[in-house]
């Protein structure tokens, strides 16, 4: 795993809100990621979230997969994915890119754009999550070659510097966000084409989307969204399970190790928490 970041990469990320690393996994690591994710998705069956999650508990049907097959928090119920996700090197990359001292998993997800899937509409991520932070960050790992044709992502460079809280949910047309924020619709997006084994990082507030899949093959990606340590609950349930929602109030820290494990910290007194693989 190519987990060494240069200062030029960090500077690019902070200015643009994203970074592409084409040679992230080598061949054998890519095989490990593919087989762990494929197996975990198959075992999860038609359940989008692990058992106990608050909502979205209903089983997914074909109509729900028009944009992608989405299976969330596979690290919780598959040992192979868990070993990949608790790797502190990923947490350190996320922390270094964002300049924060600790990183927790918010959620992982398999995002499989099936053949002929619809585009992913323009959106920001962090506005949907249970914490608000300028330093949320996601890694998106390509398990297949990602092309313009099969559903690559697109980023609006620099758009992460402004929170846009108020726009229609996905399901509307691809550019629905631009009706609320016309300035965004004037920008030139950057397509994120990369070979299998490549990855991108993107800030939780960057405005982004993905193409339709206009090919007969799937576009498999595995992603993990990260939350800075010390983030607090904002009242949005999102993927939190009932077990947690029943016990926290808005403003409480999100620090349940079984839900949001600390995978990297600069604090030596808490280091053992982030060394669990
Ligand atoms: O893969 C996609 O189609 C969209 C991914 C995305 O929105 C994300 O990772 O935040
Ligand atoms: Fe997103």
State the distance from the centre of ligand 1 to the C-alpha of 209, rounded, in angstroms.
Answer: 7
Question: Ligand 1 pocket: which of 112, 129, 138 to mutate (most atoms <8 Å of CB)?
Answer: 138
The string of DSSP codes covering 197-218 is T-EEEEETT--EEE----SSS-
Which residues have C-beta atoms less than 6 Å from ligand 1?
68, 111, 113, 120, 125, 138, 140, 153, 208, 210, 221, 223
C-alpha distances (whole Å) from 225 to each of 20, 150, 205 are: 16, 22, 12
Give residues with Cβ within 8 angstroms of 201, minimum separation 6: 13, 18, 19, 21, 93, 94, 97, 137, 138, 139, 140
If you measure from the C-alpha of residue 206 to the centroid of ligand 2, how many angstroms do you get, rounded to a whole number? 9
pLDDT at site 268: 83
Q: How far is the CA of 87 from the centre of ligand 2 (A)?
A: 22
> In this structure, which topology does domain 7-274 adopt according to CATH?
Jelly Rolls (2.60.120)
Specify the residue with its C-alpha closest to ligand 1, atom 1.
Answer: 111
Residue 269 has a pLDDT of 84
How far apart are the CA of 165 and the centre of ligand 1, in A?
A: 18
Instruction: Return the domain boundaries, the chain.
Output: 7-274
Full pLDDT tens readout for the chain, 277 residues: 999 999 999 999 999 999 999 999 999 999 999 999 999 999 999 999 998 665 656 788 888 899 999 999 999 999 999 999 999 999 999 999 999 999 999 999 999 999 999 999 999 999 999 999 999 999 999 999 999 999 999 999 999 999 998 766 655 789 999 988 999 999 999 999 999 999 999 999 999 999 999 999 999 999 999 999 999 999 999 999 989 999 999 999 999 999 999 999 998 887 656 555 5
């Amino acid at each position: 795993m190519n987990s060494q970041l240069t200062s030029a990469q960090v500077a690019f990320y902070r200015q643009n809100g994203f970074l592409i690393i084409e040679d992230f996994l080598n061949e054998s690591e890519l095989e490990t990621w593919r087989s762990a994710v494929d197996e975990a998705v198959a075992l999860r069956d038609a359940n989008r979230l692990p058992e106990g999650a608050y909502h979205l508990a209903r089983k997914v049907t074909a109509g729900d997969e028009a944009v992608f097959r989405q299976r969330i928090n596979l690290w919780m119920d598959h040992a192979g994915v868990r070993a990949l996700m608790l790797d502190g090197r990923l947490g350190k990359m996320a922390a270094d890119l964002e300049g924060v001292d600790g990183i927790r998993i918010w959620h992982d997800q398999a995002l499989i754009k099936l053949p002929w899937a619809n585009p992913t509409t323009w959106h920001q991520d962090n506005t949907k999550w249970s914490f608000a932070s300028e330093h949320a960050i996601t890694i998106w790992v390509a398990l297949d070659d990602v092309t313009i044709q099969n559903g690559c992502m697109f980023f609006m460079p620099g758009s992460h510097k402004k929170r846009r809280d108020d726009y229609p949910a996905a399901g509307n047309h691809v550019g629905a966000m631009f009706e609320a924020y016309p300035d965004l619709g004037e920008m030139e997006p950057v397509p994120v084409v990369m070979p299998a084994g490549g990855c991108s990082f993107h800030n939780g507030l960057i405005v982004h989307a993905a193409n339709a899949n206009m090919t007969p093959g799937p576009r498999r990606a595995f992603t993990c969204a990260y939350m800075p340590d010390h983030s607090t609950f904002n009242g949005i349930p999102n993927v939190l399970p009932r077990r947690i929602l029943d016990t926290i109030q808005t403003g409480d820290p999100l620090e349940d190790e079984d839900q949001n494990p600390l995978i990297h910290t600069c604090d030596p007194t808490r280091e053992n928490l982030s060394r669990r693989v």
